[in-house]
Amino acid sequence: MNRLEFSGVLALALLAGINITGAVHELGHLAVASAFGAHVVQSQPWQFLANARTVVSPLPSGQHAVVAVSGVRVGTGFLVLALLLVRWPRLKPWVPVAGALGLASAFYQLRPFFMCPLRSDSNNATLFALATGCNELALSLITWCVLGVILWFRVQRTRFIRNWRQAWAEASRPR
């Protein structure tokens, strides 16, 4: 595999990862909302044409908070499962690199929680903070800690840096 093919595989993995984790995120909202008996008004799980979003009928604030955070929890749960269940060291070096980039979008769905006190739009983090009365600064700090642990775990588990160097060196070799 040359560098151009390697770059194409990485771009494809990132694009696929964004759409798959976006769909899993929205399906997490749908599953929890349905469990609470809410009516799903609208659902756009794919990011091809527009931002992924789910709109459900009104719920009590406590249930609404659980629905708001459920997408992130389901997406992060799948990320952790993928990191634990796949035997990363046994794969060719480019596979863990592509897999890690594909899973990177699971971090992207945590973005509303990073700077919760600085945002004024109605996203999952703001809805969760308003419904539970949680301090937004504490919510942001907890999210940064969770992200740091998962990121460290991902880099260690997939041996990302070593595999990146090895895959890039293999892609650079003449055929």
Residue listed under structure tokens 């504490």? 138
pLDDT at 148 (0 to 100): 81
Number of domains forming the structure of the chain? 1
Give the CA diameter of the chain: 63
Positive or negative, the CA dihedral 8, 11, 13, 15 is negative
Domain, as residue range, for 76: 3-172
CB 96 within 8 A of CB 157: no
CB atoms within 10 A of CB 79: 22
Residue 116 DSSP code:
G
Q: Give the residue among 88, 92, 89, 54 at the shortest CA–CA distance from 74.
A: 54
pLDDT of residue 162: 84
CA 116 from centroid of its chain's CA atoms = 17
Mean pLDDT of 51-77: 78
pTM for this entry = 0.67
Task: Kindly report, residue by residue over 11-58, the tens digit of the pLDDT.
Answer: 888 778 777 777 888 888 888 888 888 887 877 776 665 666 777 788
Place of tokens 């539970």: 132
pLDDT tens-digit series, residues 93-148: 878 777 777 777 666 666 666 665 555 555 677 777 777 777 777 777 777 787 78
Q: What pLDDT, on the 0 to 100 scale, is given for residue 154? A: 76
Say if residue 3's pLDDT is above 60. yes
Task: Give the DSSP H or E segment for 167.
Answer: helix 160-172
Mean of the per-residue pLDDT values of the chain:
76
